[in-house]
A = this chain, B = another copy of it.
Amino acid sequence: VDEKLYQRALARHAALTKPPGSLGALEPLGARLAAVLGTLKPRPEGRAVAVFAADHGVAAAGVSAYPQSVTAGMVRNFLAGGAAVNALAAAAGAKLLIVDVGVAADVDDHPALWSRKVARGTRNMLHGPAMTRAELFAACAAGVEAAEHLAARGAVLLAGGEMGIGNTTAAAALTAHLTGAPARAVTGRGSGLDDAGLARKVAVVEQVLERHGEQATEPLEALRRFGGLEIAALTGFYVGAAALRAPVVLDGFIATAAALVAAALAPAVRDYLFAAHRSQEPGHAVQLQHLGLTPLFDLGLRLGEGSGAVLAFGLLEGAAAVLRDMATFEEAGL
């Protein structure tokens, strides 16, 4: 992004009709939007969220409070308009795209569904890599394509979400591997595990890292071994958004695991990422710190689907609006 424009935006903020700095974190946030969008008067209108869904072989290890069939059930719920992300996207005036990149069950065609099914779920990473190289690249490509599709239809502010039973386990393994944090520090209760379930999940993550962590010597290989098809798609989505120079809002723990991979692949991607919230999953704070991103709020969310990212759209628009629409002291004759 344009560092000079960022500095000019901060300078403009200091001249606006308010005590300098009195809009707190909104000021650098607006300046970042200015730098990303290439204008001192950023207008991040045209909001869209893409939700990528896929299943996980590791679900067979009993790492989730819900059965695998819930992934397909929730995709049908997205298409019927009954999920949280439907309500929040409608409230925020955001377009919603549902992408099947790897749901284990068949999902009927629907105008709101993009069918890019790469496989019927991943392999169980306890026994080896979750994906083949071909699957990995196909899933990443679906994510890039989704970003391009949305941008071509007018989206300026993007967000990614996910659905996939078992995917906090994949995200935990990826996060531990990429940040160096211990498995127990980045493994949480996901959709609602009890103490015994959490202990089992931590053991699974430790076992996976032990078994083939050393072979994951670069980020894409870690993604292939420990990730999921939806996490790979999100990785592609973030890289694609950055290539399009579109600001893209992070959701929670799984989405941010994909951001870790994207930023490790191409550090410049980080400039296009905006943290929305800090989720209740303990590993999310570790990820955000690793990326050097500060969340806008912490409401104890742990749903995924892009829900927290969509909630942040209004705050990002607020940050853009003050920079864009306020008068300077000089303009106001004060």
Chain A residues within 8 Å of B, Cβ to Cβ: 16-26, 65-66, 70, 73-74, 76-77, 80-84, 86-88, 90-92, 191-192, 280, 296-297, 299-303, 307, 310-311, 313-315, 317-318, 320-322, 324-327, 331-332, 334
Contacts and interface: CB of A to CB of B under 8 A. Distances in A.
A17 B302 CA distance: 13
A315 B322 contact: no
- Chain B CB count within 10 A is highest, among A66, A73, A297, for A297
B311 A315 contact: yes
Given A82-B332, A325-B86, A327-B83, A192 B92 contact: no
Contacts of A21: 192, 302
B92 A24 contact: no
A23 B326 contact: no
B191 A25 contact: no
A326 to B, nearest CB: 5
Given A82-B332, A310-B318, 13 more contacts: A18-B303, A19-B66, A19-B192, A21-B192, A21-B302, A22-B191, A77-B334, A80-B327, A86-B325, A87-B324, A87-B325, A88-B318, A299-B315
A256 B230 CA distance: 44
A326 B25 contact: no
Nearest to A20: B192
Contact of A331 (B74, B82, B315): B82
Nearest to A83: B17
A203 B129 CA distance: 67
Contacts of A84: 16-18, 23, 322, 326
A183 to B, nearest CB: 22
Given A321-B87, A321-B88, A77 B327 contact: yes
8 contacts: A24-B300, A73-B332, A73-B334, A83-B326, A87-B322, A87-B324, A299-B315, A314-B315
B87 A303 contact: no
Given A18-B83, A19-B192, A331-B82, A24 B326 contact: no
Contact of A318 (B17, B91, B191, B322): B91
- Chain B CB count within 10 A is highest, among A70, A318, A326, for A318
A318 B22 CA distance: 26
Contacts of A70: 334
A91 B303 CA distance: 27
B318 A19 contact: no
Contact of A88 (B76, B322, B334): B322
Contact of A24 (B280, B315, B320, B334): B280
A274 to B, nearest CB: 13
A22 B311 contact: no
A324 B90 CA distance: 12
Contacts of A25: 299-300
Contacts of A325: 81, 86-87, 90-91
